[in-house]
Amino acid sequence: MIKNVVIIGAGNLATQLALSLHEKGILVKQVYSRKTEAASELARKVNASFTNDLSQLLPETDLYIIAVKDSAIQEVLENIWLRDDQLIVHTAGSVPMNILEGFSANYGVFYPLQTFSKSRKIDFSDIPICIEANHPFNLLKLEKLGKMLSTSVNQINSEERKTLHLAAVFVNNFVNHLYAIGADILHDKKLDFDLLKPLIRETAEKIVSLHPIDAQTGPAKRNDQDTIKTQLKMLQDRPEFQKIYSFATESIFRLQQKHDHDLL
């Protein structure tokens, strides 16, 4: 049973995970960050100690959670001093579990599939938590911890998790970038982005009951060439946006054609 943790990281995911664990009665004993101010700020919120020195991590805890950017995980592992039997996990979507091999006899992955921001409190109750471990005993520990936070705890291996993360980049990171483009287009004409928010909400809510291919609307699906040409012309001063518009339009049309053909 995991009763206490050390959080290695103080970014978006680390912050929200630490807060949620704290709320559920898990003792966050210590927070590490290279930036003392960030470590101190998060530690204060969860009544923990803090450090900016990996060699000063508390030696006795049930679980060490590495919640840093993917490229920093190896550096963290090479600079921590742990007993070789202590349970350690990372929270990354695209990093295989075996990166932890050799640093402890007990290791795994605890990956919440969600977008996180420090300033926006998030409810973990329906967030899919993807777990993996090198031993069934460790998997059971992570499963119990996950179920304290969420109703959706899923055993997902490294290859499956990598695929999930790729899909998540499309449906979250790329979609959010398109929001930013929309906001930029409106800003140029002094129009308020709030005008688009009901449309954004409805688009997201539709896929709860509809497959995305069935929820698709717009000129690309209709192959409305007059509208497509007009809108491309409107973007002539923004060639980077033109490229995205053209590529997305072609992709929508081809995916719709494939779907229609599969139904024949």
Dihedral through CA 24, CA 27, CA 29, CA 35, nearest 10?
10
Q: Which CATH number fits domain 4-156: 3.40.50.720, 3.30.360.10, 3.40.190.10, 3.30.1010.10?
A: 3.40.50.720
Residue 44 token pair: 């204060």
The whole-model pTM stands at: 0.91
Q: What is the pLDDT of residues 62-118, one digit of tens each?
A: 999 999 999 999 999 999 988 778 999 999 999 999 999 999 999 999 999 999 998
Domain definitions of the chain by residue range = 4-156, 161-263
| Predicted local confidence at residue 218, as pLDDT | 94
Q: What is the pLDDT of residues 133-175, one digit of tens each?
A: 999 999 999 999 999 999 999 999 999 999 999 999 999 999 9
Q: What is the pLDDT of residues 4-43, one digit of tens each?
A: 999 999 999 999 999 999 999 999 999 999 999 999 999 9
Instruction: Read off the amino acid at residue 101.
Output: E
Q: Mean pLDDT across the stretch 190-197?
A: 97
Q: State how far Cα 81 lies from the chain centre.
A: 28
How would residue 264 be classed by pLDDT, with cut points 50, 70 and 90? low
CA dist., res. 65 & res. 141, Å (int): 13
Q: What is the pLDDT of residues 199-240, one digit of tens each?
A: 999 999 999 999 999 999 999 998 999 999 999 999 999 999
How do beta strands 106-112 and 129-133 pair?
antiparallel
Report whether CATH 1.10.1040.20 matches the domain 161-263: yes
Residue 104 DSSP label:
B
